[in-house]
A and B are shown apart, each in its own frame.
Chain A
């Protein structure tokens, strides 16, 4: 179910809801799977009293991982050749995230995508790009 170059146009978009009402437990799950146990993500007492944030927040890489799911659902399994992002705002428990890939070019069997993930307020939390092989 890979994409076909002949069926893609610049400006085409694909969107998915990544998560509704992000739970602290999912952040814990990600800490355990990734091995990043920074207490900023899971330890409310440390994060509020020592680090000075209002509550724990998601790993940037959790948002990148969830956004990656949107991308692979769009371009197909094993098709990504590049994927890069900037983390532009923090993601908090309770957030609902939507992510969109927009076709920027299709050339030589490669689709270039602009990638953006926003929260329920429309704030961009992740901004980046991806490239994938297309048929």
Chain B
């Protein structure tokens, strides 16, 4: 993932906070936020993940004029090669196994971030619930309009051999 311009906006923060069920007014009420320790609206701790909105190539967003693997007339809009994997991970690039954030400071409306991602380690594991698991790590650095590092994020994705048995 590479994001050249991730403008942190008040309405996006409000919608994000709503979606995680957080009614804290520091996420939407600028007047209230002035009375708090940060002194401004800030973004909730996991907000940086929504940089996906600003990644032009993000593969989990339908794009105009391109096939999409979700359902329409058919259960999927993409005819897939038989992978023999039973759709493990759902054809969506796998599942999210871990996520880590280090906050150098908290985001606020008006910030304009860039994000660069580099691959980390990969490893394999055998599991009873989903067969062979292939883990891959990626590290994303978010920098602000002054080039300062504001958040370091480390994600781990996992591709499963078959759908995870929830039992």
Contact = CB atoms under 8 A, between A and B. Distances in A.
B82 interface: no
A9 interface: no
A62 interface: yes
Interface stretch (B46-54, B112-120, B138-146): B46-54
Nearest to A42: B70
Given A39-B69, A54-B166, A85 B38 contact: no
Contacts, number: 171
A49 B70 CA distance: 11
Interface string A74-109: 001111111111110110100000000000000000
Interface in B1-40: 12, 15-16, 18-22, 24, 26, 36-38
B87 interface: yes
Nearest to B12: A33
Interface in B127-157: 154
A77 B22 contact: no
A65 interface: yes
Nearest to B102: A82
Contacts of A40: 90, 92
Nearest to A76: B37
Given A69-B21, A78-B38, A78-B42, A35 B52 contact: yes
Interface of B: 12, 15-16, 18-22, 24, 26, 36-38, 42, 44-46, 49-53, 58, 60-62, 69-71, 75-76, 86-93, 95-103, 106, 154, 162-164, 166
18 contacts: A18-B21, A29-B19, A30-B20, A33-B19, A34-B49, A38-B60, A39-B71, A46-B71, A50-B75, A51-B89, A62-B20, A68-B45, A72-B24, A76-B37, A83-B101, A83-B103, A85-B98, A87-B96
Interface of A: 2, 18-19, 26, 29-30, 32-40, 43, 45-47, 49-54, 59-62, 64-66, 68-69, 71-73, 76-87, 89-90, 92
Smallest CB-CB A-B distances: 8 pairs: A84-B100, A65-B20, A39-B70, A51-B90, A35-B53, A35-B52, A49-B75, A78-B38
